[in-house]
Structure 1
Amino acid sequence: MSEESSSRNGKEGQDEQAGSAAGPPFQAQRHGSSKDKDASSDDVPQISQPGLSRTARVLVLVPVILTYFLWFLDLAVVSTATPAITSEFNSIVDVGWYAWQRSPAIQYRLLTVDFRQALSFVSHQGKLTQDIRASWSDPHTNTAMQWTFLIFFFIFEVGSVLCGAAQSSAMFIVGRAVAGIGCSGISTGALTIITAILPGKAQAQVLGIAQGLGQLGLAIGPILGGAFTEYVSWRWCFYINLPVGAVVGVLLVLFRIPESEPKKPAREVLGTAVKSLDLPGFALICPAVTMLLLGLQFGGNEHPWNSSVVIGLIVGAAATFVSFLFWERRQGDEAMVPFALLTDKVIWSAAGNMAFVLASILVADFYLAIYFQAVNNDSPLMSGVHLLPTCLSLVLFTIISGVMIEKLGYYLPWTLSGSAISAIGYGLLSLLSPTTPAAKWIGYQVFYGVGSGCTAIAGYIAVQNLVPAAQIPTAMAIVIFCQGMGGTVFLIVANAVFSNSLRHLLRSQSSKIGVAPDVIVAAGARGLRQLIPGSEQLAIALQAYADSIDNVMYVGVGVACVAFAFAWGLGFKDVRREKAKSNAQTTGGVEAKEKNPEAGS
């Protein structure tokens, strides 16, 4: 290696350190384990940044960043539209499926496919990239980033059209699943593009802006969904993605995104990608998850819990999952979920913690919207406004906790206290009734939102700082997979608790209400008052709705407590010290190579 090359790499490594240090808390530094010290001390190559003018970069980044806004908006907007959707399709028992905005299994494969090839290339050169994000192993790294991103964005738009045009609950669920596949590619593709066309310091700043816009989408989603539902149609909650998507698509087509490194021929890429996909493992985990969710959905609704259908689905899910575990163990490092990584306490603790954190957030969002519209008789728009205490406190304390973790160094106190506060907040939300005054339900939401915000990012920070650098992409993929799976499973669990509780309570009061329980359930959240005109009968039905939602909040208490338990495994570490270790190792390696440029050539 020439002296000029070594000097240039050393300078880029120092620039990367400065940029990372200035970045937001969720871009915390990574470091290698003792096993990685030798690799870390070698020269640190940087992925070359393609030549783009400042204007061209802005015009490329604007649509990419907008996808973050659409991604989070699409997740939040459906919460206040759900009661209207259930009334139109007579599908209150399908609420748990409406949040399928992401496909966890596909998300995992997009994050990990070709990861081994990327590491093999780095190892062959005898180098380790300091910013492992530059070799995130998704399809975007081995094919044209621009067109891969556009394909997944098109899939997301197709899913949005299916949701908007849905004529049945089943069609709507299919649309959500299709949109989820698109979101899986969008999330990883956006990171890949940002990393490819920007230097380190700018990456941190742009990712901060993208995350900020995402949080904005999360905050205004319920209000926007309520406004569309009330004044136009709930279908426009999904059609709105089309004009924004057109702007994104046109900008990405007009301005070419240069590749940061040469790409292999498409035929070669497809051959290695299919080989590394672990298709047998994928074919086992998908039916296992589907059978589990269907069993929970059918239990007490379409079929009794002791029916052969429900028992068969749950037992089949368990058996298939065990087969999946045996297969993954047999595959070793080639597995979809490498067992060696699962022995790392930080990884499985972060995965468990983030799974239950997202589950707690989604459960509250969906069932608070049902409470406001069904029990309090809010309009869709006002239900979105009444969810603001949750949204604003969650976003605010996500930012505050991230900044304070960056300043003080310790994330464990935030995630422990956040999980505990969330559990208390859920306990308070379980007190909701048809007569709960506004001051109380606002306070309950603030309590829960503060707790959720405090614990929203700690798992990511722990993985980025405590996991060896070479393992971070796969570790993050495991965490994101478990997070998506946790949200999906516990929405189905919450829906099972809600629908079974509602049916049971309505049956116990059916003689007083005068309307069959199945008819009330089929009417949906917004159709309740039209179905039961009498004030006394309506009051009984509303109390049954409120009590059923209270039972869902008990699920939230349990979920938050489990998140609290998993948080202990993240470790009591100071990220500032870990960052200093990483910087010292990298700087020392670069200086050594500059003094002896022939070493490692």
Structure 2
Amino acid sequence: MDENTENKETRAPSLPSNDAPAQLEDNEHENTAKERSLQTPQLSASEDQDHEQKYVSGLQLVIIMTSLSLAGFLMLLDTSIVATAIPRITDHFHSLDDIGWYAGAYQLSSATLQPLTGKMYNQFSTKWTFMSFFAIFELGSLLCAVAISSSMFIVGRAIAGMGLAGLVNGCLTIIAGIAPLHKRAVLTGTLMGIVQLGIVCGPLVGGALTEYTSWRWCFYINLPIGAVAAFALLFTDVRDQVKKPPASAVLRNIYHELDLLGFALFAPAAIQLLLALQYGGNEYAWNSSVVIGLFCGSAATFVVWAVWNRRQGDNALIPVSMARRRVVWTCCLTQMLLMTVAFISAYFLPLYFQGVRGKSPVISGVYTLPSILSQLFAAVLSGVLVERVGYVIPFALFGSSIATISSGLFSLFSPNTPAGKWAGFQILNGFGRGIAMQMPMLALQANVQPHELSSANSLLAFSQYIGGAIFLVVGNTVFSETLKHELATHVPGVNGAAVAAAGATAFRHIVPPAILPAVLKAYARGIDNTFFIAVATGSLSTVTALGLGWVDLRKKKEPEKKVTEKKEDA
């Protein structure tokens, strides 16, 4: 006891001068320990906690991972399948003017709710919060399937997006609760690989269902698959990483616990930004009062929210002490940049195959299989390797470099690029993304406290949504302007604006056959230039990845003994 007291006395003068002047020695000791844990955050998820928490294994682990994989697969399937169904939906409802809202309502509600989901997972049971969001997602799918009007369909898409908001966060939070840190790399890699299959299956499944049954089955299909996932998860034991207060206690003070005022400020700021990005260059010109007003309103509201968020401190919608840590914001920034590489590829490769090569949506989906399958393989492989090597930065640097180089190779595509090249370049790109994309997630889990994990995951998800929204708009602008310039320069007799507005395949009907090869070359050039955005963001990710932290994710037995001995000595 004398030694402990002496240590406290020697430590007390080193505390920051802005600490509360009247604190008990026990509180000083607790605060000092907390500060030390923030400086060495690997202890937040270190292996010395493994013996204190009973993790899931065996059949139960397989069931949980299968349920999460099915739920994640449905998320991306629902994201990509709607693109194939939209033409038939607009024919059914005579709602061509609502096309933008069919995807926009889904993205708006999902991105806006992301930070709030972090607070909800912090306060309520992880399992039942996930199940609730999944039920909301399924309800939205049902409303879309039975919609009797375009407005009802848009509402269904918005509700499905609200459910989606909590699923990404929930999957990562559940994995953190069922497995120790050194096993999460393999589980996360497997999950991400299977989930990514939803992107490529979307056009294939959507094309088949729309052609042979009805567009409504593009949404009905979520119900039976979702029921299987939910039923399996219902009877498994998903434990929370940290002890949660009773739900009744949270509900009595929900205004404070969830920072609803902060959300009331954050939501309109995010919505205005996303609306400005959606309207700009489409329904309104970029210099129109509507778009400029939305940007200004978003910026002003974000400023007000930032002031409130800072005032709230660690009780805020996005905890300040967590967000300002270098490893947290570099993880979010790296994830945003890597997801931009993925979004650019996922959006413009099908455009190349359909617009330039003249393939159907289904065949276009088949042609993107090299990218998806190589990403699936690399995601699982990288999880196994991280478990052995222990550090994420080497894999993040290697994967982002490969993805960047292959994105540059995409810019060489022409109307006559042989299959060996476009397939080989996709294999490289998918392999690089599969290696790198889970690394920010793993780094985040290794560098935050368990009670911060849900908020950190929600910030990560929001970052990638916003990044994707911004850079896809930039990509569309680059494509459109390049296409118009190339047509004006090399095919002056063609209306570039009309070709761009006609769509990926319909422009062939308005272009004379004699000049079609030149138009296809200009179309390819426009798509090629968009991949330079992926090159730029991928290059930046190799810089930001250096901040992911050198936390060893491997299970170490010796440090556990040393920590135990120190505790016994104390």
Deviation sequence 1:418-477 (CA, Å, 0-9, x none): 222222222222232323232222222223222212211121222233445554443333
> Which of residues 515, 524, 528 in structure 1 aligns to 2:503?
524
How far apart, CA to CA, are the structure 1 residues paired with 2:43 and 2:138?
46
The residue aligned with 1:69 is 73
Letter in 2 for 1:271: R
TM-score, normalised by the number of residues in structure 1:
0.73
The residue aligned with 1:137 is 122
Work out whether 1:549 is the aligned partner of 2:527.
Answer: yes
Runs of 5+ in structure 1 lacking a partner? 1-30, 114-135
Letter in 2 for 1:316: G
What does residue range 95-134 of structure 1 map to in structure 2 within 5 Å? 97=104, 100=107, 103-113=110-120
What does residue range 18-97 of structure 1 map to in structure 2 within 5 Å? 32-33=37-38, 46=52, 63=67, 65-78=69-82, 89=96, 97=104
Q: Displacement, 1:46?
A: 4.1
1:229/1:237 contact within 8 Å kept: yes
Q: Displacement, 1:250?
A: 5.4
Deviation sequence 1:466-524 (CA, Å, 0-9, x none): 445554443333223322322233233323433455566667789723x6834x45543
Work out whether 1:536 is the aligned partner of 2:514.
Answer: yes
2:135/2:163 contact within 8 Å kept: yes
SS in 1 for 2:350: helix
2:169/2:457 contact within 8 Å kept: no
How far apart, CA to CA, are the structure 1 residues paired with 2:410 and 2:541?
18
What does residue range 341-490 of structure 1 map to in structure 2 within 5 Å? 341-468=322-449, 471-490=452-471
Deviation sequence 1:163-185 (CA, Å, 0-9, x none): 55678988766544422221233
Letter in 1 for 2:409: L
How far apart, CA to CA, are the structure 2 residues paired with 1:189 and 1:466?
18
Q: Displacement, 1:189?
A: 4.4
SS in 1 for 2:264: helix
What does residue range 233-252 of structure 1 map to in structure 2 within 5 Å? 235-249=216-230
Letter in 2 for 1:527: A
Deviation sequence 1:376-418 (CA, Å, 0-9, x none): 1111211011001111122222222232222223322222232
> Which of residues 275, 278, 281 in structure 1 aligns to 2:259?
278
2:190/2:376 contact within 8 Å kept: no
How far apart, CA to CA, are the structure 1 residues paired with 2:435 and 2:37?
27
SS in 2 for 1:575: coil
Q: Displacement, 1:162?
A: 4.6
Runs of 5+ in structure 2 lacking a partner? 1-35
Higher relative contact order (CA 8 A, sep 6+): 1
The residue aligned with 1:28 is none
Q: Displacement, 1:281?
A: 2.4
SS in 2 for 1:398: helix
The residue aligned with 2:538 is 560
Letter in 2 for 1:104: A
CA separation of 1:80/1:563 partners in 2, compared to 1, >3 Å: closer, same or farther? farther
Deviation sequence 1:191-248 (CA, Å, 0-9, x none): 6667778999999987776555434445544543444455445553333112223444
CA RMSD of aligned residues (A): 4.4
Letter in 2 for 1:555: I
CA separation of 1:71/1:554 partners in 2, compared to 1, >3 Å: closer, same or farther? same
How far apart, CA to CA, are the structure 1 residues paired with 2:50 and 2:533?
48
Work out whether 1:287 is the aligned partner of 2:272.
Answer: no
CA separation of 1:65/1:380 partners in 2, compared to 1, >3 Å: closer, same or farther? closer
CA separation of 1:536/1:105 partners in 2, compared to 1, >3 Å: closer, same or farther? same
How far apart, CA to CA, are the structure 2 residues paired with 1:171 and 1:492?
27
CA separation of 1:524/1:216 partners in 2, compared to 1, >3 Å: closer, same or farther? closer
How far apart, CA to CA, are the structure 2 residues paired with 1:161 and 1:503?
41
Q: Displacement, 1:558?
A: 2.0
CA separation of 1:429/1:58 partners in 2, compared to 1, >3 Å: closer, same or farther? closer
SS in 2 for 1:495: helix
1:154/1:182 contact within 8 Å kept: yes
The residue aligned with 1:14 is none
Q: Displacement, 1:590?
A: 5.0
How far apart, CA to CA, are the structure 2 residues paired with 1:171 and 1:507?
42
How far apart, CA to CA, are the structure 2 residues paired with 1:588 and 1:480?
37
SS in 2 for 1:100: helix
Letter in 2 for 1:67: A
1:389/1:445 contact within 8 Å kept: yes
Q: Which is further off, 286-295 or 213-222?
A: 213-222
How far apart, CA to CA, are the structure 1 residues paired with 2:404 and 2:236?
48
Letter in 2 for 1:185: G
How far apart, CA to CA, are the structure 1 residues paired with 2:426 and 2:305?
40
Aligned length: 530
1:415/1:454 contact within 8 Å kept: yes
